[in-house]
Chains A and B, each alone.
Chain A
Amino acid sequence: MFEKSDEQLIKKAQKGHKKSWMSLLKRYEKPIYHYGLRMTGNNEDALDLLQEVFISVFRNLSSYRGEGSFKGWLFRIAHYRCIEFYRRKRPTQGLDDAPEIPSDAAPAEQHIEHTQRNAQLISAMQQLPLAQKSVVELKFFGHFTFEEIAQQTGMSVNTAKSRLYGALVKLKTLMEVDYVEL
């Protein structure tokens, strides 16, 4: 079946075409929801973040000029919404600080039917500082290049690379511990 491109849907949605907007939303709700799930480790928070991201996208849709991919623009918004979300939830915690609570993944494990591996991965990610977690998320799940990650998160390319490197050191240990526990 012929599928309309993002640009076509955006143009129509900008003119108030509800159906196009809904198509666009359905196309990206899953990646954004799972982005939220991996970033927050909590189903409720992931749904709140999903809603906030799409409200923000809808509000700013008129200012979208088609420079760069829509997916990149969408994830940039998601990234900033996620930072805001963290600041609201943990105002005293810096982006580079390790989370105060080791893992928020338990609710995700309880409420969602994830495979054991999904849960393990989400749990491990929750123990990374937000700055490292966002790079890991965008690199391994968003499949963005380091240039795109730098653009979306407002950091330099080298910082993005070193943050990923630092995150992998921690993840390796965490995943090994989880593997032993399993």
Chain B
Amino acid sequence: MSNYDNAELLALWLEEKLTASQRDSFEQRCVEDSQFAQQVEAASMFKMQAQEYQSTDVPNWNKEKIFDYGVTSSVWSWLPGASFVTSVLAIVLVLTGTQVNITDGELRIRFGAQQSEQVVVKMLDSRLEEFRQTQQAALSLYAQTLQQQQLDSASQLTNYLLTSSRQERREDFAELIKFVNQQRSDDQLFYARQLNQLQQDIYRDADGVAVESVQQ
């Protein structure tokens, strides 16, 4: 049995490229394999029919249109070229790590990915330092505000205490003075009564002596 498969043998036969040994295999296969023989017959029949195929004329169609279309479209013929150039430019920009920066109306073009990495690290450091400083300033401001707030609170408390104790003292003194005045008023009344009593006693005594003397 030969090594050639049916498709291979049929293909070689169709192209008339069978060698002597292949031809032997082919003929043997045609005898032994009825299915293969039928395939060969079909190929032969189809080949014959293809040869007998009558190529009719092409119906009328607008052939001129294609040339005109092509000429019109040639206005855009620069497009593939431009596309190629821009692609190459893009590749070069990517490979060289080109960076374009516009800051404050200033255009900067940088080449080299490594350099850009350093720039990024530097930028990151500066940003971190800036952030640290901002945080520190905010913290100190907060501490200062807190301190100030504490001082204000203490001062307010002291003022309140002083004011309230002063008021209380004033009220106490007023009460005391009122009490002393009342005492003095009571005393004066008492002494006035005493004096009246004494006066009455004296007058009574004097009247008694006089009566006695008169009587005597």
A residues sitting closer than 8 Å to B (CB atoms) are 16, 18, 21-22, 25-26, 29-31, 33-34, 43, 47, 50-51, 54-55, 58-59, 62, 112-115, 117-118, 121, 136, 139-141, 145-146, 158, 161-162, 164-165, 168-169, 171-172, 175
Contact = CB atoms under 8 A, between A and B. Distances in A.
Interface of B: 6-8, 10-11, 14-15, 38-39, 41-43, 45-47, 49-50, 52-59, 61-63, 65-67, 69-71, 73, 77
A75 to B, nearest CB: 15
Contact of A146 (B15, B39, B59): B15
A171 B42 contact: yes
A165 B59 contact: no
Contacts of B77: 62
Contact of B58 (A50, A58, A121): A50
A59 B45 CA distance: 39
A50 B158 CA distance: 106
B39 to A, nearest CB: 5
Given A25-B63, A121-B53, A175-B46, A161 B7 contact: yes
A175 B38 CA distance: 13
A136 B63 CA distance: 28
Nearest to B15: A145
A62 B55 CA distance: 30
B39 A47 contact: no
Which A-B residue pairs are the 8 nearest by beta carbons? Answer: A172-B42, A165-B7, A140-B50, A161-B11, A58-B70, A33-B58, A161-B7, A162-B7
A146 B77 CA distance: 36
Contact of B53 (A58, A118, A168, A169): A118
B58 to A, nearest CB: 4
Nearest to B77: A62
Nearest to B60: A47
B59 A113 contact: no
Given A140-B46, A140-B50, A175-B46, A21 B67 contact: yes
Given A51-B61, A55-B69, A139 B42 contact: no
B66 A168 contact: no
Contacts of B50: 121, 140-141
A168 B69 contact: no
Contacts of B55: 30-31, 34
A97 B5 CA distance: 24
Contact of A121 (B42, B49, B61, B67): B49
Contact of B7 (A25, A47, A114, A164): A164
Contacts of B63: 22, 25-26, 29, 54
A97 B38 CA distance: 24
A6 to B, nearest CB: 17
A141 B46 CA distance: 10
Contact of A18 (B61, B62, B67): B67
